[in-house]
Amino acid sequence: MNSKLSSEIKAEAQRLGFFACGIAKAKRVSTEEEDHLRSWLAAGLNADMSWMNNHLDKRLDPRLLMDGLKSIVCVVMNYTPSRTLPKGEPQIAAYALGKDYHDVIKQQLCRLATFIYGEDAEHANYRVFVDSGPVLERYWAQQAGIGWIGKNEQLIIPHAGSMFFLGELFLDYELDYDSPTTNRCGNCSRCIEQCPTHALSKDGLFDASLCLSYQTIENRHELSDLAKKNIGDTFYGCDLCQKACPWNRFAQPNDIPEFQPTEELLGMTRAKWEQLSLVDYQRLFKGSAVKRAKYDGIMRNISALKT
């Protein structure tokens, strides 16, 4: 094991703006995790996100994603907003207020890899993932000692909350490995109680088709009647289960420039949203995760708002 390098990696990750960094040994996931994932997929609870059935063997064993993989360096970056859209106006999920997190975190992970490999980084054997491959991100973050997977299906970091982006750096080095985090949700079920469509359940099975985030982002068809009834004031995503989580009372606003909303976005009103043109949409959300929902999806959602 390389204690010195492990410590240096964590220190550099912090310097690069990551809130936390942990390291897990690369191996096949636990039998419990595998059984849970297989049951979830077999029940069709991934809605029409068929891509989640792809490369199941690699999801279950990340060593199939990279020859020589030994260590999974997990990082998280805070996106708790420092400024939000005005109350009384249409809202979007907190994670999408700034620039696309994929680009920001990938860039910083590549810098971390350069720190590790130095001049050999260009030809080194490593891989970077940011919600972009068949990697069970929350599982590995828990194995790396960063947090646990809560009843709201989010990674919860003790005394910090759940508003964090996740990323992974796959390395061919043996490192010091952190111990998995113990689940500390206890008897709390506030997130389950606050989910308006009952996508969350006490048996731990999350029904994606019911989730307002799925309905307003991934769903390419009409919103379900249940979604239309419960969409409230948010036309992209949903933060209700996170807002209900007691651990998020510890959340601190992020100071990352790329994650700050623009003045134009902060100045949007219901009337402006309803009149949003394709050109306006492309300008307003250039480099934003919101573009995943497409212009037609955004306008579909806005027309269903209850505000």
pLDDT given at position 70: 98
pLDDT given at position 1: 55
Query: Do the Cβ atoms of 270 and 89 come closer than 8 Å?
Result: yes
CA angle 230, 184, 8 (to 5 degrees): 110
Query: Do the Cβ atoms of 166 and 13 come closer than 8 Å?
Result: no
Mean pLDDT by 10 residues, the chain (307 residues): 90 98 98 97 95 96 98 98 96 98 97 94 94 96 98 97 98 97 97 98 93 98 98 98 98 97 97 97 96 97 88
SS3 category, 221: coil
What amino acid occupies position 251? Answer: A
Run of H or E including 100: none
Query: Do the Cβ atoms of 300 and 122 come closer than 8 Å?
Result: no
Cβ neighbours of residue 250 under 8 Å, at least 6 residues apart?
159, 160, 161
pTM: 0.96
Residue 131 is a catalytic residue: yes
What amino acid occupies position 105? Answer: I
CA-based nearest residue to 212, from 230, 194, 225: 230
CA distance 239 to 204: 19
Query: Do the Cβ atoms of 37 and 85 come closer than 8 Å?
Result: no
CA distance 141 to 137: 6
Chain-centroid distance of CA 49 in Å reads: 16
The active-site residue out of 131, 172, 176, 280 is 131
* Neighbour count for residue 295 (Cβ, 10 Å): 16
pLDDT given at position 204: 86
